[in-house]
Structure 1
Amino acid sequence: TLTQADIDRGTTSNTATATGVPPTGPPIESPLSTVEIPSIPAPGLSLVKSVDRPSVSTVGQTITYSFLVTNTGNTTLTGVTVKEGAFTGSGQLGPITPASVATLAPGASTTFTATYVVTRADLQSGSLSNTATATGVPPTGPPIESPPSTVKVPAVPPFSGLATTGSEPLWAALLAAAFLLVLGGALKVRSGSRFSRS
């Protein structure tokens, strides 16, 4: 029965001899016979990136990116890491943790994370886009890299600077303006009624 170590090694060999005892004389032994069964390595790696917020709307908000890395091949991978690609944020993305995973068996997954603090320029740009890939080293051959994974976070546009400072959103400002308008109209009608009676 093959083990993962057999697959990682790339081949499994077995050598044997046969022995027998003749009617006279010492036992005899056949020449060695060896069979070697190669295992075809097919390393693979996938990355799915996600974020903990559906959107951002305030300067200073912290968002957390998650990187789910899965060994989709048939060999053990070592030194698994996540590598950042294109990032539209105007600030600095925090370090990816952990820095690397020592080993990842076939079918196994692990999650990396990184944080980012939203800036005013991010809100004005309308969205934050981030792309990353995962890399790992198979037992034989060069390192492999996953297809890129991208996540995009919409940014709520600021209204007169209010949304960027954590103040009232647009709907609150409009509601207040409507209330003042109705109140002013009511006062005008009341004042006109008094004047007509006099």
Structure 2
Amino acid sequence: MAQVLGPDGAVVGAGFLVGEDVLLTCAHVVRAAGAGPGEQVRPAFPNVAGAPLVEGDVLAEPWREHDGEDVAVVRPARTVPGTAALPRGSPEGCRGHQVRSFGAGTIRNTATSTGTPPRGEPPVSPPSETTVLSNGQGALDLVKTAETTDVNGNGKTDTGDTIQWKLTVANQGTITVTDIKVNDPTAGEVTCPRTSLAPGGTMTCTTKPHTVTTDDAQRGKVVNTATAAGNGATSPEATATVKVEPEPVAPGKPAAPEPTGILARTGTAVLTVAGIAGALLIIGGLTLALTRRRRNH
């Protein structure tokens, strides 16, 4: 048994050696590895200690697309020591055994017939069964998480700190989903390791870090919503929310209290009294001067 690796080294599917240099796998596995007929994939043999990674050519002639028979044949560049071809059996005695199919999926239909005879028990025919490939469907799921970095080291998530978004895309359907893109209006451009996922496959996509702004602090949180879509399959919206500490309010200079009551009129009253006193002194001085002048005459 072999693993088929994607461009990032993640396992995207399995295959079986049916000859020294012939690996049998599925077309949807090769597509999930980012390759196709006439291109190369990387098989790995985890059950053989120290087995090296090898390149394998995807043969064009026996290729059958994933929405049809879903067959791919890979020819490894060299034989890996310690590996052996899977023994091939005979179709004799295989009828009547149950099997499980993974990939495009199948539909199995079983029926019997009966009738009413003139007498006796109604006869029942042996069951008749047919199995056909179904078209299947892809079903994408998206999980969004956030990791924060405390840039200023104050133990809080606040202005100037950064948020790194991680988006995990999974194919929960029965066929490979291609042309996968993640739309994240808040974070902007999303980088994914590949553009297709086989059934059961997952991948983690990333974005540029988001720096918490003053507006984020005023709102008290950063909310990010994204979706994943590809050849007819769209995930539900995935949302991640990061709470942000509000900015502290700077202390302002207290306003001087407006004067009220008697004290408010003190200055005006003093000036009024002083004015009256001055006027009286002037009048008194003039009167005294006139009186002395009359006496002298």
Whether the aligned pair in 1 keeps the contact of 2:67 and 2:175 (CA below 8 Å) is no
Which has the greater radius of gyration? Answer: 2
Looking at structure 1, the residues matched to 189 and 221 of structure 2 have their Cα atoms a distance apart, in angstroms, of 21
Matched residue, 1:111: 204
Whether the aligned pair in 2 keeps the contact of 1:80 and 1:135 (CA below 8 Å) is yes
Looking at structure 2, the residues matched to 68 and 123 of structure 1 have their Cα atoms a distance apart, in angstroms, of 27
- 1:18-167 matches, within 5 Å, as 37-53=132-148, 57-85=157-185, 87=186, 93-98=187-192, 101-114=194-207, 115-137=209-231, 143-160=232-249
Give how far 1:156 is off.
0.9
Give how far 1:153 is off.
0.7
Matched, 1:8 2:66: yes
TM-score (normalised: structure 2)? 0.38
CA RMSD, 1 decimal: 3.0
Whether the aligned pair in 2 keeps the contact of 1:57 and 1:158 (CA below 8 Å) is no
Return the letter of the residue paired with 2:225: T
Give how far 1:78 is off.
1.1
Whether the aligned pair in 2 keeps the contact of 1:71 and 1:77 (CA below 8 Å) is yes
TM-score (normalised: structure 1)? 0.55
Return the letter of the residue paired with 2:170: T
For residue 148 of structure 2, give the secondary structure of its aligned residue in structure 1: coil
Return the letter of the residue paired with 1:39: S
Give how far 1:103 is off.
2.0
For residue 111 of structure 1, give the secondary structure of its aligned residue in structure 2: strand
Per-residue CA distance 1:73-121 (angstroms, 9 max, x = gap) = 1111111111125x4xxxxx352113x7232111010011112111011
CA pair 65-129 structure 1, distance change in 2 beyond 3 A: same
More strand by share: 1
CA pair 111-151 structure 1, distance change in 2 beyond 3 A: same
Looking at structure 2, the residues matched to 129 and 53 of structure 1 have their Cα atoms a distance apart, in angstroms, of 13
Matched residue, 1:192: none
Give how far 1:160 is off.
2.2
Percent identity between the aligned chains?
A: 33
CA pair 102-109 structure 1, distance change in 2 beyond 3 A: same
CA pair 133-112 structure 1, distance change in 2 beyond 3 A: same
Looking at structure 2, the residues matched to 48 and 54 of structure 1 have their Cα atoms a distance apart, in angstroms, of 20
Looking at structure 2, the residues matched to 144 and 161 of structure 1 have their Cα atoms a distance apart, in angstroms, of 51
